[in-house]
Structure 1
Amino acid sequence: MATYYLIATDNTIVNTVLADSAELALVNSDPGVTAVTQLLAKHKWPQTTPAVPQTVSRFKAIQALEDAGVLSQVESVINDPASPSIYRNAFNNAMEFERQSPTIAAVAQILGWTDAQLDELFIAASQIPDP
């Protein structure tokens, strides 16, 4: 399965599509962009990957976890009495979450997440508007 990004002229990501076929109907979330059907391979749409942010705010991190449906899983690991107290302290008190944090890496490993999945969460978090 490949990830395709529809990029606006200002280089913002308008839509992300996961597909195992090059023929896709894209329905865009941006009201300024009309829905289109493209044969991506034929038109040679680039597959670009947004840069993985190294830091996201606490609000964005928590919202990204909620949006991905994994917040309760993370909270289970964090609140497990067998987990080191640093997990709880970091999760409950950090103002920012760092992609290369050993604590984040440890929790991700417990949950069986790959580096790519963690990168996707950080990318998703970075795209959440500030409150």
Structure 2
Amino acid sequence: MNIIISNTSKEPIYQQIKNQMKQSILKGELEEGDALPSIRQLAKDLQISVITTKRAYEDLEKEGFIVSVVGKGSFVAGQNKDFLREKRLKAIEEKLAEVVGESKLVGISLEELGEMLELLYKEEI
């Protein structure tokens, strides 16, 4: 697992870890049952506090992405891919609704908004 921490990001470090692990799970890079590094090992590898990695793991566990077994470690939880996809779609819809509202406020037409979305979608991130 390759986690990259950005010191210049406004996002807290635990959130960066959590998001990158989540992405790896959703993309299928980490599969059900895969063992994750121990909290201490990840903290050592990333040269950060154990408390920070512990918080990321706790959040991932609360959200159902990982399971922790006392004495054995943390593992990728069994996921219902359709359910996870629906959660992501809902989040995207909420963001798009916000963008549509802002667009209407400043007078951007649906056609202009569609063109912007198409350009952004085709742009490599």
Query: Does the alignment reach a TM-score above 0.5?
Result: no
Calculate the TM-score normalised by the size of structure 1.
Answer: 0.31
- TM-score, with normalisation over the residues of structure 2? 0.32
More strand by share: 1
Task: Flag the structure with more relative contact order, 1 or 2, with Cα contacts below 8 A and sequence separation at least 6.
Answer: 1
Larger Rg: 2
When you count helix as a share of all residues, which structure comes out higher?
2
